Structure 1
Amino acid sequence: MSRSVAAAPTGPMALDALPRDADGFRLRGRQASRLETFVDAAFAFAVTLLVVSFDAMPANVPELHEALRRAPAFLAGFAILAMFWATHHRFSRRTGLTDARVTTLGLLLIAVALLYVYPLRLIMGVALHFLTGGWAPSPMPIGFTEGEFRSLYVIYGIGFAAMCSIMLLLNRHGLARADALALDSVERCVLRQEAGAMAWLLIPTAASIALSLLPMPPGTWWQGLPGIVYCTLAVLMPWYGVRAARELARVRAESA
């Protein structure tokens, strides 16, 4: 039988005794559930699939240099997977929820992550190949057709959007259980901001998918526009972070 909340102290006095994270959220899920352990293992395996793209171990120094040229693409893909893993980890530690909806979304996250790793590896390899002027090797031939080009960005965008949507739904579910979890105003604000961050990530993703479906001149920089649009996250997410920090500070002052 699934539990709605992981084992944790109950009652106002017991909740106040719980440790808080850097954002002031009381950690109700201090013991890792079986679902969280499964998610951790799945993400570890997904990272392994990124490493497998390096093929065999280098047998000499030139092969080592060749392998190191693939490292930037691996690190970029690892950073994205780590972002989603960390978001799920925070949610699990903060809420301790293990009900049916959390379990379903967690299993869906595992499935999507293991499928998403393949387009992630290709996109990062091709992107780093262009950004480094050909220094980083491409995992696939660059002379692919326009149809293949569109398909690659669409598949990657759908995978990225699915990961963001799952994390968005998890945090929205936490907000729906706010009364049962006895969340204070600061904790409710933190969950809203976590959900909001995932929503902002969906904006350039939707734009990239839409641009991928538009007809573009072959062999021109316009074909890279669906990937370039993700660069807007370098502006959107810091802006959202500053805005969220100000809102959280205001809520903390009001609660105090």
Structure 2
Amino acid sequence: MRSALAAAFDHDLRFRWRGEQVTRIENLSDIVFALALGMIVAADGAVGTVGALNAYVVGLVPITGAFATLLAVWNAHFVFFRRYGLADSRIVGLNACLLLIVLFTAYPLRFVYEALYAYVLASFGEMSRAEAMGLDWKGAQTIAAYFGAGYALVYACLAAMYGHASKRTELLVLTPTEHQLTLRALWRYRVAAMLGFAVVPAALLLPRLGAFAGFLTLLVTPIGFILARRFPLPGAAGADYQRSPTPARSV
């Protein structure tokens, strides 16, 4: 009955989670992610006037966008440690790099979404927000370049972590399905990193159009469908999961 209930609420049905115990690495990581998420939401400080309250409510749109973007990174981090339970020195180092990047990019990420929101308002004739932020085309190109660099570094770390896991297939006793899913995730994050790095020169070198270079990262979604065809799953979905041996402890 417990197994049936666990399977019913499992959002990763084709992959047996080997990270049964929450490690100190994950505890530290969750604290850092929570701090970064708090930095995004509370960047303006406490609300003290009605005008500040109105500005805060209007700013919920870019705050939500930045929050969701960082939460997606947290979810990718969470799934990795639940899937593999790895805690060797290489993972510790890569995880530390990822956490540093997350903290460093929290405020800039909020600013990126604030700038995008200001541009949307300006396109409808509301220029006050863009003027207050000092936005112009050159500044927008710089913002896009920073976004691309941060995006690339985050997903380069995740790709390196999945690359390390893919080399531990035998140690982790990955099934053929789990191995293919690992390769899908590895190449998805590699492609995401490459798209992020491509945003930087596109943003800085393309006049006017460079301000929209960050939208290149949206290509990761259709490329994900291509990767699904490139790394097909063997047999029926979930079949290998049912045949998985006793879960391994953290390695």
- TM above 0.5, one fold? yes
1:201 maps to a residue whose letter is A
Task: Find the aligned partners of 1:100 and 1:136 in 2 and give their Cα distance.
Answer: 50
The C-alpha deviation readout for 1:179-212, integer Å capped at 9, x for no partner, is 1001011111111111122122224322320123
1:168 aligns with 2:152: no
The C-alpha deviation readout for 1:127-182, integer Å capped at 9, x for no partner, is 11112334894596234583x55543333322211101000000111001111001
1:91 aligns with 2:83: no
Equivalent of residue 142 in structure 1, options 134, 142, 159: 134
Aligned-pair CA distance for 1:71: 0.7
Aligned-pair CA distance for 1:21: 4.8
1:204 maps to a residue whose letter is L
Check 1:25–1:56 CA distance in 2 against 1; reply closer, same or farther (3 A cut): same
Equivalent of residue 170 in structure 2, options 179, 199, 210: 179
1:22 aligns with 2:6: no
Aligned-pair CA distance for 1:41: 0.7
Contact 1:171-1:194 within 8 A present in 2 as well: yes
* Matched residue, 2:212: 228
1:240 aligns with 2:229: no
* TM-score, with structure 1 as normaliser: 0.78
Aligned-pair CA distance for 1:246: 5.3
Contact 2:199-2:213 within 8 A present in 1 as well: yes
* TM-score, with structure 2 as normaliser: 0.79
Check 1:247–1:51 CA distance in 2 against 1; reply closer, same or farther (3 A cut): same
Aligned partner of residue 231 in structure 1, secondary structure: helix
Which structure 2 residue ranges, 5 or more long, are not aligned? Answer: 1-5, 241-251
Contact 2:203-2:212 within 8 A present in 1 as well: no
Task: Find the aligned partners of 1:174 and 1:227 in 2 and give their Cα distance.
Answer: 36
Question: Where do residues 123-134 of structure 1 align in structure 2 (5 Å cutoff)?
Answer: 123-133=112-122, 134=126
1:66 aligns with 2:55: yes
Once superposed, what is the RMSD of the aligned Cα atoms? 2.8
Task: Find the aligned partners of 2:140 and 2:99 in 1 and give their Cα distance.
Answer: 26
Contact 1:58-1:67 within 8 A present in 2 as well: no
Contact 2:43-2:107 within 8 A present in 1 as well: no
Aligned-pair CA distance for 1:58: 5.1
Which structure 1 residue ranges, 5 or more long, are not aligned? Answer: 1-17, 217-221
Contact 2:166-2:179 within 8 A present in 1 as well: yes
Task: Find the aligned partners of 1:231 and 1:154 in 2 and give their Cα distance.
Answer: 11
Structure having greater relative contact order (Cα 8 Å, sep ≥ 6):
2
Check 1:176–1:140 CA distance in 2 against 1; reply closer, same or farther (3 A cut): farther
Check 1:38–1:137 CA distance in 2 against 1; reply closer, same or farther (3 A cut): farther
